[in-house]
Amino acid sequence: MGKLNLTMLRYMSSEDFRVLTAVEMGMKNHELVPGALVASIANLKHGGCHKHLRELCKQKLLSYERGKRYDGYRLTNTGYDYLALKTLCSQGLVHSVGNQIGVGKESDIYVASDEEGRDLVLKISRLGRVCFRKLKEKRDYHKHRNKASWIYLSRLAAVKEFAFMKALHDRGFPVPVPVGFNRHCILMELINGHPLCQVHDLDDPAQLYDQLMDLLVRLGNCGLIHGDFNEFNLMLSSEDKPTLIDFPQMVSTSHPNAQWYFDRDVNCVREFFKKRFGYESELYPKFTDIERDDTLDLETTASGFSKEVKEELDEAVQQMKEDEEDHSDNDEKEASNGADDFHQSTSTEKNNSASKIGKKTNSCMMERFIADTQLQPEKNGTSESLPINDDKVASVDHQGTTSSKTEDEMEETTQYTDTSSHVTRSKGVQRCPV
């Protein structure tokens, strides 16, 4: 399933991370961050910012792209991973990262450990890898930008999941123990068990069925609905005790479609037990059975997932869902228009009055920003941060850039594939520098 390559992380200097952080800060209001702005934000003591930029581009932590107004840099997914892991290492939460144990359309799962040798799970959000991947080029997202910032949406999803996980754990729900998070990376306890989808035999299916239905009602009484309660998001221990995972899609019971989400979760469990174990029960909870006695949906606002962040995430995802529905219709219209143009040009050639049909290319003003929110649990003091002056970002005039890519001028930088011999392959573990 692959492995997160952390080979270069141990060899990177503090100046390299200052430059990466400067590009991240510049991307708050720039699609492409000019080199002069990066140098101004990084403010290296001995200069040499452009040398670090070239080296980071070589290692595919940054991407250099050409625009119509000016050239600039943008942060890649690998560079964003390095920034998050560097912060987690500095806080003593991560000491080593092992093999990949899971992969999905929205996240990658890795085994990790802290300084005490405790096994952890590192979840890295990867929104935009599959769903809505082609739609970024078709329409505008986030006001007048025509590219969705998947890095920014991944951070929002991580903030939401960690907030719900912490709130549920504090209430005694069977969820992994939250350890910490930074940017789009979440650390949690490693569950010793198997996904319910991999279980084919149960000693007592009725008992597990009752536990899952009770769990749905407990969540509802606290004001929450999971939204994706199925066999893929339930871990089962050797004692047949369930553990609930994956929380980015949780909604409040006051949501307009709360009853539909709740009924879908119930039906997912019923259908799975009927097909897999041949067990079917006439007793199942209904949305009207919920008696709300807690306000966990409101407490998550104070835990980091604020109302503003929720509105931004919901609006962005809703726009992309609407574009997904319109995408097929637009393709059919384009094909129909192309056929009409072909027949029209053929008829005009026969009449010796041919006309040329030009292709118009429109480019929209693009900007993408990343809110560098780092809500971390305190551990032996404050976390390490780079002393970068935010005022310098505000002093630079806001500029929109128009990006036009060509095959000769750019290269995709979404994954770092260097295989260095410095990695310990016998145990499959890479140590992160502290």
Predicted confidence band at 423 (pLDDT cuts at 50, 70, 90)?
Answer: very low
Predicted confidence band at 68 (pLDDT cuts at 50, 70, 90)?
Answer: confident
- Specify the 3-state DSSP secondary structure of 11: helix
pLDDT, position 250: 87
Mean pLDDT estimate for the chain = 75
The CB-based long-range contact list for 112-119 (8 Å cut-off, 24+ gap) reads 112/187, 113/429, 114/179, 119/190
Q: What does DSSP assign to residue 38?
A: H
Q: Which CATH architecture has domain 11-89+396-406?
A: Orthogonal Bundle (1.10)
Average pLDDT over residues 364-381: 40
Q: Are 32 and 73 in contact (CB under 8 A)?
A: yes
Closest listed residue to residue 294, CA positions, set 224, 215, 211: 224
Structure tokens at 169: 């754990």
Catalytic residue, candidates 140, 228, 240, 326 = 228
pLDDT digits (tens, 9 = 90+) for 321-371: 565 555 555 555 554 554 454 444 444 444 443 333 333 333 333 343 334
Domain locations in the chain as residue ranges: 11-89+396-406, 195-301
Strand partners, 210: none
Q: If you count DSSP H runs as helices and E runs as strands, how many of each does the chain have, helices first?
A: 10, 13
Q: Which residues contact 22 (CB under 8 A, 6 or more apart)?
A: 33, 37, 38, 39, 41, 42, 388
Structure tokens at 166: 């912490």
CATH 1.10.510.10 fits domain 195-301: yes
311/308 Cα distance (integer angstroms): 5
| Residue 228 known to be catalytic | yes
pTM: 0.67
pLDDT, position 306: 54
pLDDT digits (tens, 9 = 90+) for 13-33: 999 999 999 999 999 888 899
Q: Are 175 and 168 in contact (CB under 8 A)?
A: yes
